[in-house]
Structure 1
Amino acid sequence: MNRTNILVMGAMLACSIGAAFAGEQAAHPHWSYQGKTDPANWAELDQANSACKLSKEQSPINIEERHARKAPLAALDFNYVGGTAEVINNGHTVQVNLPSGNALKAGDEVANLLQFHFHTPSEEKINGVNYPMVAHFVHKSADGKLSVVAVLFKQGRENKTLAPVFNALPAEGKPNQLTSFNPADVLPVDRAYFKFMGSLTTPPCSDGVRWQVLKSPVELSKKQIAAFRKLYKMNARPVQPLNGRLVEASE
């Protein structure tokens, strides 16, 4: 094979690899919280994200306490246990992955805890005001339905339970392993909550998600909040229209 043929074949191979890479990028378009790939443009990035624009039950929302209907909601029974955990930086947030054996029970409904992750400021607003941060505890039932519990954070004392997470926030692609961590210790003592139907707050914005926002915030220190904001200055989707949805408040 002469040099000219080798060069031609090399160019064709390079084009083929480039096209494959472009196709992969197109299949998994990047999304973000700012710029041309921000929340206002998520639906246009991928047809799979159409719910971000078309769904009428999107999250997060602004919860107006005076408009929330008090109801005898089932108590949230957090059957969480201590064990190992994996802390990852997925490029959009810091997420704590948990092994099986942790579950949320509300009445007759049971869902297994998969992970929790952080947003700053809080995606949910209460009476029009954000908290500095929020953690979303994501659960999945046997029939595939998602149930998310939001734990709001206010600035205050150091959170000793989360100290192992915030003292060594991982770089992207370099997970940290925790040998002993109990997610129950993150929760506030008071488990009163707001309930509504909503969606994922990130693409593809799938709806049909049951949301429970705990009323009582938990404390994080200024240093812990600042440590997270060094990685993510802002990673919160703006609040979405309520569109007549009912927000209930536990009595």
Structure 2
Amino acid sequence: AGGRTYELKQIHFHAPSEHQIGGKSFPLEAHFVHAATDGQLAVVAVLYETGEENSDLKKLWRQMPAKVGQEEGMAAQVRAEKLLPENRDYYRLSGSLTTPPCTEGVLWLILKNQGAVSEEQARQFSELMSGSNNRPVQPLNARAVLQ
């Protein structure tokens, strides 16, 4: 994007979603955080709607630490691309990170199509986080959303 090459640095999740499409919220959202060599950040956001159990999320959830802040090594690898829907059309906007320090100037690519997550999988994640871990949906203000 923008003539830069980005490298995936981390994947994390929020429940419920921090973004909406057409005013609709989703039970789970994944953020694929990328950085370019010049420090520019880009986040690919995937929204998950309630549906069938997600086998790739299941692999991650089995390895999820029992407590917030606890670190666990990954015994089984999950390919990041398996967590994305097949159709990868996206909305593009400039925004900020949704967790402190809430850095501005972040390129956001929010996928238009959703992945699936079972009610049980969304519940498991929320229980681990002791409830919601999302930033409330923010107003667009002067940001342009490109399609």
Q: Normalising by structure 2, report the TM-score.
A: 0.92
Counterpart of 2:74 in 1: which secondary structure?
strand
Q: Letter of the 1:230 partner, please give it.
A: E
What is the aligned partner in structure 2 of residue 214 from structure 1?
111
What is the aligned partner in structure 2 of residue 10 from structure 1?
none
Which 4+ stretches in 1 moved above 6 angstroms? Answer: none
Q: Structure 2: how far apart are the matches of 1:133 and 1:203?
A: 20
What is the aligned partner in structure 2 of residue 200 from structure 1?
97
**What do residues 72-130 of structure 1 show as CA deviations (whole Å, max 9, x unaligned)?**
xxxxxxxxxxxxxxxxxxxxxxxxxxxxxxxxxx3632100001100011000112221
Q: Structure 1: how far apart are the matches of 2:118 and 2:133?
A: 19
What is the aligned partner in structure 1 of residue 38 from structure 2?
143
Q: Structure 1: how far apart are the matches of 2:55 and 2:102?
A: 33
**What do residues 56-81 of structure 1 show as CA deviations (whole Å, max 9, x unaligned)?**
xxxxxxxxxxxxxxxxxxxxxxxxxx
- 1:246 to 2:129 alignment: no
RMSD between superposed Cα atoms in Å? 1.3
What is the aligned partner in structure 1 of residue 70 from structure 2?
173
Counterpart of 1:209 in 2: which secondary structure?
strand
Q: Structure 2: how far apart are the matches of 1:197 and 1:159?
A: 30
Q: Structure 1: how far apart are the matches of 2:62 and 2:7?
A: 27
Counterpart of 1:162 in 2: which secondary structure?
helix
Q: Letter of the 2:145 partner, please give it.
A: V
Q: Structure 1: how far apart are the matches of 2:80 and 2:51?
A: 20
Q: How does 1:142-161 map to 2 (within 5 A)?
A: 142-161=37-56
Q: Structure 2: how far apart are the matches of 1:238 and 1:248?
A: 22
Paired residue total: 144
User: Aligned-pair distance for 1:154?
Assistant: 0.6
Q: Structure 2: how far apart are the matches of 1:178 and 1:248?
A: 39
Name which of structure 1's ranges 220-229 and 141-150 shifts more when overlaid on structure 2. Answer: 220-229
Give the structure with higher Rg (CA).
1
What is the aligned partner in structure 1 of residue 132 from structure 2?
234
Q: Percent identity?
A: 43
Q: Letter of the 1:110 partner, please give it.
A: T
**What do residues 128-167 of structure 1 show as CA deviations (whole Å, max 9, x unaligned)?**
2210110000000010000000000011111111212113
Q: Normalising by structure 1, report the TM-score.
A: 0.55
Q: How does 1:114-153 map to 2 (within 5 A)?
A: 114-153=9-48
From the two aligned structures, give the one with the greater helix fraction. 1
Unaligned runs of at least 5 residues, structure 1: 1-105
User: Aligned-pair distance for 1:221?
Assistant: 1.1
Unaligned runs of at least 5 residues, structure 2: none
User: Aligned-pair distance for 1:179?
Assistant: 3.6
Q: Structure 2: how far apart are the matches of 1:166 and 1:137?
A: 17
**What do residues 37-63 of structure 1 show as CA deviations (whole Å, max 9, x unaligned)?**
xxxxxxxxxxxxxxxxxxxxxxxxxxx
Q: Structure 2: how far apart are the matches of 1:192 and 1:206?
A: 25
Counterpart of 1:125 in 2: which secondary structure?
coil
